[in-house]
């Protein structure tokens, strides 16, 4: 009888700490060779919608870290909303140094549905790990006060921060902020997550001017009235940041997030001005905002077209959303000074990138 051919034997990876071991990394052992050839399958990570869980509590249990309430010290209230208060405090975990944190506390008298909706945002944030996306420290669900604990961002929301410091930054610093936001949005898009509510009010800024995307707990329904806004758990949100196809067809995608990013570009360069100023929601739908009064003009000796233009983000025809610049281009480097977010606070006056229409 003819000998049977020796085939490679797939076995589970025996290497401790293999980064792909949880995905069942395989190594093919070839007996005829004195070494083994590792075969790794490409790792893929996608966002999992916590609302797809039959039991929402299971999503919170599987995706988030539970923190003992005794580990948190609330020091002051720094904001409030319909779901409850936002506080500043300190978190001390075993074996780690005490760190400042932001604490979102669910208001008293909540229903079970409100509790589940509140914690669903934590289930979403827990899946993200990027320097330009807000970081979740954990949740507190086993005490009377239900809390979501995140990293603390010293300068608060981007729109308020820019209005407070109107005219105090160089164009390179402003573009660096936009680059950070774009990097965060590209990361979310790569995971298959559509934000739906990208706006300067939902970007947080730390002491180094690093901008981080936040606010992931919104579920929006378009009302019938032509001047209506999207309804959320936190109240009304104007349509000024929403892409035309999302308004017309309830179609949300990375392309609609790119439209919103174009509006955020406008907000940043206008130092937190209200997009479209006093236009009605009816007039806003599908329109492009005019350049703000202080909109910078590029230098004749400038570096040329290095970044995504507003016009590339604001392709307004509902059927042409596919022609908008891809979200992967939002973080395109526009100047060496913006290559890393940390030095932005000390950037001097540089040549201006072209970010005009």
Q: How many Cα atoms within 13 Å fall on the side-chain side of residue 45?
A: 10
For 334, the token pair is 């526009």
Letter string b/e over residues 8-30, b meaning 16 or more CB atoms within 10 A of that residue's CB:
eeeeebeeeeeeeeeeebbbeee
Q: How far is 311 from 187, CA to CA, in rounded Å?
A: 22
CB atoms within 10 A of CB 105: 21
CA dist 94 → 68, 71, 72, 142 (Å): 11, 9, 12, 18
For 237, the token pair is 């949100």
The contacts of residue 164 (CB under 8 Å, 6+ apart) are none
For 80, the token pair is 């409030």
Q: Which of 117, 197, 215, 257 is catalytic?
A: 197
Residue 104 labeled ligand binder: yes
- Residues 102/86, Cβ–Cβ less than 8 Å: yes
For 335, the token pair is 């100047």
197 has catalytic annotation: yes
Q: How far is 248 from 170, CA to CA, in rounded Å?
A: 38
Binding site for ATP: what residues are annotated?
A: 104
Active centre residues (catalytic): 197
Binding site: what residues are annotated?
A: 104
């Amino acid at each position: 009888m003819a000998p049977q051919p020796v085939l490679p034997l797939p076995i589970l990876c025996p290497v401790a700490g293999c980064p792909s071991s949880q995905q069942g990394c395989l190594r093919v052992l070839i007996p005829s060779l004195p070494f083994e050839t590792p075969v790794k399958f490409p790792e893929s990570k996608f966002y999992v919608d916590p609302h797809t869980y039959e039991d929402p509590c299971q999503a919170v249990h599987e995706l988030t870290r539970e923190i003992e309430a005794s580990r948190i010290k609330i020091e002051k209230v720094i904001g409030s909303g319909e779901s409850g208060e936002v506080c500043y405090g300190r978190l001390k975990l075993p074996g780690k140094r005490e760190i400042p944190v932001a604490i979102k506390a669910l208001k008293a008298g909540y229903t079970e549905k409100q509790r589940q909706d509140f914690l669903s945002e934590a289930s979403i944030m827990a899946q993200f790990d990027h320097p330009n996306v807000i970081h979740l420290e954990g949740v507190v669900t086993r005490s009377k006060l239900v809390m979501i604990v995140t990293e603390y961002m010293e300068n608060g929301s981007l729109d308020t921060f820019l209005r407070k410091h109107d005219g105090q930054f160089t164009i390179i610093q402003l573009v660096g902020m936009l680059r950070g936001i774009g990097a965060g949005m590209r990361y979310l898009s790569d995971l298959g997550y559509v934000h739906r509510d990208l706006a300067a009010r939902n970007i947080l800024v730390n002491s180094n001017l690093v901008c981080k995307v936040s606010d992931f707990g919104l579920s929006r329904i378009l009302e019938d009235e032509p001047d209506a806004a999207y309804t959320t758990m936190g109240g009304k949100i104007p349509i000024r940041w929403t892409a035309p196809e999302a308004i017309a067809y309830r179609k949300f995608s990375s392309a609609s997030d790119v439209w919103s990013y174009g509006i955020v570009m406008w907000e940043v360069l206008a130092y937190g001005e209200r997009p479209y100023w006093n236009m009605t929601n009816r007039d806003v739908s599908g329109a492009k905002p005019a350049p703000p009064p202080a909109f910078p003009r590029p230098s004749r000796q400038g570096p040329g077209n290095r970044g995504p233009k507003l016009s590339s983000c604001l392709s307004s025809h509902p059927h042409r959303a596919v022609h908008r610049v891809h979200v992967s281009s939002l973080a395109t480097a526009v100047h060496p000074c913006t290559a890393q977010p940390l030095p932005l606070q000390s950037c001097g006056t540089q040549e201006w990138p072209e970010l005009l229409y």
